[in-house]
Amino acid sequence: MKIIKVNENNYINEIDSILNRSDDSFDEVDKIVADIIKQVRKDGDKALIDYTEKFDGIKLCSIKVTKEEIDEALNNVDKSFIQILERAKANITGFHEKQLENSWISGKGTDIILGQKVSPIGRVGVYVPGGTAAYPSTVLMDVLPAKVAGVKSIVMVTPPLKNGKVNPHILAAAAVCGVDEIYKVGGAQAVAALAYGTETIKPVNKIVGPGNIFVARAKKSVFGKVAIDMIAGPSEVLIVADSTANPKYVAADLLAQAEHDKLACSILVTTDEELAKKVDAEVERQLGYLKRTEISRASIDRFGTAFITDSLEMAFTVSNEIAPEHMEIMTENPLEKLYMVENAGAIFLGQYSPEPLGDYYAGPNHTLPTSSTAKYSSALGVDAFIKRSSIIYYGEKSLGECKDDIMEFANREGLDAHANSIGVRYEDQ
């Protein structure tokens, strides 16, 4: 890991490589994605089957997962894992139920009613990575908030394994969460199918879920035709620590993020240079026995950084500028430092709240804003699966009392039909 001392004069320059670590040019990927979307819109199911054979090496007869395949997966997955899924489901559901919004109506005067009607999105598509990067946790995190919101139709797409089947742990998670339809198709072609529909897959209103660069760019391309949750970049964790932090725990949490991707970013910001050196040594030690060493090593070598600051206030200034996806506070009395956090996707407090706790089990969502977008966006939640309709009722008397104001607004904007829409109601009075 790099160890860098920063202050209020140089920290922006020092964190620049972290803030701009994603590849800037997507021209070639976007061209491939555009061709795929065009082909799926033209040939429907045939294009999905052809692309699955081309990219995944599998010739499918049908893309829809059957009840028999789901039952087979449930029988093949350890019962203990099903029980873990159920316990995680309870935690995640309980957390998201607290996010529910209610419709409301408010009277104002004798003949004015204002309000808001909260309704679930009708049909949602969930993309779940498959193959070697299979994440049943993604199923829980993306499906359960939609269920809590009241979405009536939830569709899951995920790439098949080499045997033509879906990863059984993903199917088990889908069964536990109550997914309505499952299709064994992945990549940009799956996103296109969700957005525009095929003979088998009906189009959805919103697409959520992570994927590779082709999936991310496909989601960006279909945005407008459908809604999307976010365009996720490489994952990141930032740990603010003081001398009370355990270097073994800090190193383990940095490496937990580094194993995701070679572009993943693991950052320590601390007031204690000795801690940084101990963490660096511990990272090297733990890399010696972890399985995804090549990926983790590439991530740590390129982006693993320990920033040394003169004060905790400066440490939080650095953190707020980076606006990390995951933030851990490993300091004395971490709850007392919470007020200093302005930008973070999820905040983990104390020595025994590591980031994987949030990934799988605690309850808050693990679909989080990356690449500094925590400065203006939030974790996936129930609000991502609802829509709000305003309610307006004015009686004749109340409209009459404000008609001149409204007509003046309309005329100032040169919209005389707007003004006429008001005035015509009072011509005979």
Rounded CA gap, 205 and 44, in Å? 18
Residue 375 main-chain phi, psi, to 5 deg: -70, -20
Q: Report the pLDDT value the prediction gives residue 24, as an integer from 0 to 100.
A: 63
Residues 6+ apart with CB under 8 A from 255: 266, 283, 286, 287, 290, 296, 300
Q: How large a percentage of the chain has pLDDT more than 90?
A: 90
Of 234, 280, 230, the residue nearest 254 (C-alpha): 280
Q: Which two tokens stand for residue 16?
A: 């620049």
Q: Report the pLDDT value the prediction gives residue 17, as an integer from 0 to 100.
A: 77
Concatenate the DSSP letters of all residues of 14-55 into one string: HTHHHHT-S-S--HHHHHHHHHHHHHHHHHTHHHHHHHHHHH
Of 274, 273, 257, the residue nearest 265 (C-alpha): 257
Rounded CA gap, 39 and 386, in Å? 31
Q: Report the pLDDT value the prediction gives residue 134, as an integer from 0 to 100.
A: 81
Q: Report the pLDDT value the prediction gives residue 398, as an integer from 0 to 100.
A: 95
pLDDT one-digit tens code per residue, 343-375: 999 999 999 999 999 999 999 999 999 999 999
Residue 412 to residues 214, 261, 270, 397, 404, Cα–Cα distance (Å): 48, 55, 57, 24, 12
pLDDT one-digit tens code per residue, 24-49: 678 999 999 999 999 999 999 999 99
Of 411, 406, 393, the residue nearest 111 (C-alpha): 393
Rounded CA gap, 117 and 309, in Å? 49
b/e map 390-425, b = 16+ CB within 10 Å: eeeebeeebeeeebeeebeebeeeeeeeebeebeee
Residue 243 main-chain phi, psi, to 5 deg: -70, -10
Half-sphere exposure of 380 (CA within 13 A, CB side): 32
Residue 325 annotated as catalytic: yes
Residue 326 annotated as catalytic: yes
Q: Which two tokens stand for residue 165?
A: 């089947």
Average pLDDT, the chain: 95
Q: Which residues of the chain have pLDDT under 70?
A: 21-24, 131-133
pLDDT one-digit tens code per residue, 384-395: 999 999 999 999
pLDDT one-digit tens code per residue, 47-101: 999 999 999 899 998 999 999 999 999 999 999 999 999 999 999 999 999 999 9
Helix axes 168-177, 136-149, angle to 10 degrees: 20
Looking at 169, 260, 326, 366, which residue is catalytic? 326
What is the DSSP-derived secondary structure letter of residue 65?
A: P
CB 115 within 8 A of CB 391: yes
Looking at 236, 259, 282, 325, which residue is catalytic? 325
